[in-house]
Structures are given as structure tokens and as C-alpha cells.
Amino acid sequence: MVQNNNAGISPAAVESIAGLSAGAVSTLVVHPLDIVKTRMQLQQRNVPPAERPSMWGLVRSMTNHHNPLAALYRGLTPNLIGNASSWASFFFFKARVERALKFWRGRDRPTATDYLISPAVAGAVTTVLTNPIWVIKTRMLSSDKGAEGAYPSTAAGFRAILRSEGVRGFYRGLGVSLIGVSHGAVQFAVYEPAKRMYVASRDDPDAPIRTEATMLISGGAKLVAGAVTYPYQVLRSRLQNYQSEERFGQGFRGVVRKTWREEGVRGFYRGLVPGVIRVMPATWVTFLVYENVKFYLPQWLA
């Protein structure tokens, strides 16, 4: 594994800063695709086809908007805050859990179980802390700014939810989001051992990881995780959206039953194509920024 002298800054802090940087940069790059994915996830089969725009139809509607940049980056603030804080929190707690597991087990090399436990715990804590941001983000991305009932800003969304739904409104979809922790656990259970094997195979294990290696390893890990956990993203989006009970069913079980009854298996994979298109650039940017900041930050601070 690549080692680096942390020059007075703790490993957990390095991980957190690297994660925050990665989340911020990747969000700025792929936010428009996130809008398309979210809106496709919220489509229902019983809506007339004429009212159900395709992926490219959604893209055209935003680019033909009188202010295309504003349309393409609608809801950027909560998405930016959410992704940056989520990755910062995730890598911080992941590093802490890994350190605790090393101490508890009395060994430096993580086991296969450790690769699952540390991201699962970190993901669960991060999900609870950031769920309110994702509720606002989902609702803002699901509609244009001028649409009826749409939140004009993040602050307005916060006030509207607190006023009409109370604190519980900020935790809509939390249960299904916690199920989604399995995505991160699977992703890092693939990524970390693969990265360790790659580093061990090089002549200089302390050199920075090559760009193409980071892209290949992170992309492969993301595809494996995404293949088995995508349906939870659809369910989470529907649980967190405006008037979710009227449109999609009451509670987690209600949404699952209604989606299955009205749309079948395909309903659980709505938005998959833009999701896949989005996920690879986002993953590559996230891990390239993360690995480089993690490697070079201690040198910059030395």
C-alpha cells in the first residue's frame, strides 16, 4: 500500500480532506446527469407516454431552457454540500474504523471481513448525518425551478419541509438509504484488495498510483456494486420526493408493492442508463481526486 508521511496531520484528517475534495469536484462535473437520472427514477409507468420524456428529451428540455446553465445545475447547492460532506464523513469514519479493527485484531493487514465492515459502518453513520441534505436535493432535482411547489432554494426547501412535515420529513427514505450502505461496502470490498494487489505488484510500491490503474480499479468496483444495489436508489428517490405517499405508495413496503404492481422489474431499474453513464465519470473523477489529494496533501503540508 502507498505510504506517506502525514507531517503532523492525522491519517483520518487526510482521508477526510481527500474525500471532501473528491466529492466537490465530481459533483461539479456530473451534476447535470444526476438531474436526468433522478427525474427518470421518479417516472411512473401509468403516466401517458407523451408525458414521459426520454433521457435525451430531458437533456434537450434543459439545454433549450431560457437559462440552460441554471437548468443544468438546478439543485447544485444541496448536491454539492451533500456529496462533499458525505465523502469527507465516509472516509473519516472509514479510517477510524480501520484503525480500531487493526488495534482490536492485533494485525496490520486487513482481513476480507474488515474490507466490508469499515465502509459499512462509515456509510451508515454518514447516511444518518446527511439524509436531510439528500431529501432536499432529490426534491430540487426532480423539478424545474418554476414548477408548482418547487423549492426556489435550499434554504426555502429546508423551511418548507420543517413547516409541513416536521423533523421526520428530513429522514424520509432513511431506511432504504441504510440498505444502500451495502453499495459502498461491496464497492470498497472490491476496490481496496484490488488496489493493494496492484500496488504490491509494482517495482516501487511507494509511488503514486497511475491514473489508468485508478480508473480501471475504481470503475470495476463501482460496476460490481451498482449491478446489485441499483434498485435501492430508485426506491430512495421515490420515498424522498414531493407527495411521495400519494404518488408512489406509503412507506418502504408500499413503494415496493406499487412499483412492482404497476411497473414490474423494469420499475426498479428506471434511470439505469443515465445512471451508468453518470457513474463512471463520477467514479473516475472521485477516485482520481481522492487518491491524488491523499498522496500529495502531506507533501504540500510538510
Please check the confidence at residue 53 and state whether its pLDDT lies above 70.
no
- pLDDT at residue number 46: 54
- pLDDT at residue number 159: 92
- pLDDT at residue number 268: 86
- Segment among 18-22, 128-132, 208-212, 237-241 with least mean pLDDT: 237-241
- What top-level class would CATH report for the domain 11-301? mainly alpha
- The model's pLDDT over 107-161, given as tens digits with 9 standing for 90+, comes to 778 888 899 999 999 999 999 999 998 888 888 877 766 666 678 888 888 899 9
Residue 90's pLDDT band (boundaries 50, 70, 90)?
very high
The stretches of 106-153 forming alpha helices (DSSP H) are: 112-141
The stretches of 180-243 forming alpha helices (DSSP H) are: 181-200, 211-240
- pLDDT at residue number 49: 59
Please check the confidence at residue 234 and state whether its pLDDT lies above 60.
yes
- DSSP codes of every residue in 236-282: HHHHHSTTHHHHH-SHHHHHHHHHHHHHGGGGGGTTHHHHHHHHHHH
What are the residue boundaries of the structural domains of the chain, listed by start?
A: 11-301
What number is the average pLDDT over the span 12-17? 92
- Please answer whether residues 176 and 237 qualify as being in contact, where contact means their C-beta atoms are separated by less than 8 angstroms: no
Predicted TM-score (pTM) above 0.85: no
Average pLDDT of the chain?
A: 84
